[in-house]
């Protein structure tokens, strides 16, 4: 199954151009949904105003080289490895889901635009597609059932769903239905594979068509917010917050009696 290219067989019943058009439409959904989200929430305006305000209260003027170093460090640490989550299960689940999704999407685009018209794909690309989907499922389901704040810290049931959950649930549905579709197709169960193909198609529509209502757009905001935060710490403006208190802890041992669960 891992070396099977499901999009090659799909091209036998749906034209490759139609499949490619669907991918382009999903990309347009991302652009439109994110743009509408920015207009509604005014995130970009806030970032620019905050950066301008912080510049006035900066204690040190950073050189271009220093700014570049801070940005590169932020990308390598905060963004690429989600270091703000610390060492633990939450960070591992996020890294699995993030890199799994990236592999899944990149491999999908390559298979659809280059190897869906009778051209045999190199073995490693379908493997990358399947492994990416599996990583997404492992990280996503781990997060959903065991690591969500309202489940692990606030004792809500795992099946409680709110609007903010649209992104992770749609992403999990895409990966899960995609794997099921590929497995059934490679096993020769064509009729049942069509069912999961339709579910895979609908899950993608919800994921990319629901950008405006989900947390999808946060993937673009978080890197910008992390960079701005680290630049503010480097130039001393600290987003107009007071510096850390230079005083010993006064809480005693009581604060260490409970395993931290509140995020």
What residue ranges do the domains of the chain occupy?
A: 6-237
Helix, coil or strand: residue 262: coil
Closest of 138, 96, 88 to residue 260, by C-alpha: 88
pLDDT at 116: 72
Report d(CA 140, CA 93) in Å as an integer.
7
Burial status of residue 59 (CB atoms within 10 A of its CB: 0-12, 13-18, 19 or more) = exposed
C-alpha dist (Å) from residue 230 to 91, 97, 150, 234, 237: 20, 25, 29, 6, 10
Q: Are 144 and 172 in contact (CB under 8 A)?
A: yes
Question: Residue 49 burial by CB count (10 A; 0-12/13-18/19+): exposed, middle or buried?
Answer: exposed
Helix (H) / strand (E) element for 32: namely helix 16-41
Lookup result for tokens 């917010």: 225
Residue 145, both tokens? 């059932």
Three-class SS state of 73? helix
Kindly tell me the sign of the dihedral angle through the C-alpha atoms of 162, 167, 173, 176: negative
> What SS3 state is found at 60?
coil
b/e 222-250 (16+ beta carbons within 10 angstroms → b)? eeeebbbbbbbebbebbeeeeeeeeeeee
Task: Average pLDDT across each block of 10 residues of the chain; the chain has 263 residues. List them in order.
Answer: 84 86 93 85 72 72 82 83 75 90 94 81 91 95 80 68 85 95 89 92 93 80 78 73 60 57 52
End-to-end CA distance of the chain: 39
Sign of CA dihedral 187, 109, 142, 172: negative
The residue whose two tokens read 């509604």 is 40
- State how far the Cα of 147 lies from the Cα of 155, in Å rounded to an integer: 11
What is the spatial distance between Cα 68 and Cα 121, in angstroms, rounded to a whole number? 39
Rounded to whole angstroms, the Cα distance separating 84 from 131 reads 26
Read off the pTM. Answer: 0.80
Q: What is the Cα Rg of the chain in Å?
A: 22
Structure tokens, 55: 């510049």
Determine the pLDDT at residue 75. 83
């Amino acid at each position: 199954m891992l070396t099977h290219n499901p999009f090659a067989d799909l091209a036998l019943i749906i034209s490759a151009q139609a499949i490619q058009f669907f991918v382009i439409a999903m990309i347009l959904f991302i652009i439109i949904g994110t743009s509408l989200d920015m207009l509604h929430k005014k995130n970009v305006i806030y970032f620019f105003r905050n950066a301008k305000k912080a510049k006035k209260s900066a204690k040190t003027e950073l050189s271009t080289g220093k700014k570049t170093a801070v940005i590169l460090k932020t990308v390598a640490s905060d963004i690429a490895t989600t270091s703000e989550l610390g060492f633990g299960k939450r960070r591992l689940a996020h890294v699995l889901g993030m890199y799994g999704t990236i592999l899944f999407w990149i491999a999908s685009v390559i298979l659809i635009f280059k190897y869906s018209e009778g051209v045999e794909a190199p073995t490693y690309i379908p493997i990358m597609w399947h492994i990416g989907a599996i990583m997404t499922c492992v990280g996503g389901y781990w997060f959903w059932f065991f690591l969500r704040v309202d489940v692990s810290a606030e004792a809500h049931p795992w099946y409680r769903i709110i609007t903010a959950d649209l992104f992770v649930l749609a992403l999990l549905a895409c990966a899960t239905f995609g794997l099921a579709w590929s497995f059934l197709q490679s096993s020769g169960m064509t009729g049942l594979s069509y069912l999961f193909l339709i579910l895979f198609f609908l899950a993608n529509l919800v994921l990319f068509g629901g950008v405006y209502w989900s947390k999808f757009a946060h993937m673009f905001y978080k890197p910008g917010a992390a960079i701005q935060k680290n630049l503010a710490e480097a130039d001393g403006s600290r987003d107009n917050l007071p510096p850390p208190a230079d005083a010993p802890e006064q809480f005693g041992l009581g604060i260490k009696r409970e395993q931290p669960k509140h995020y």
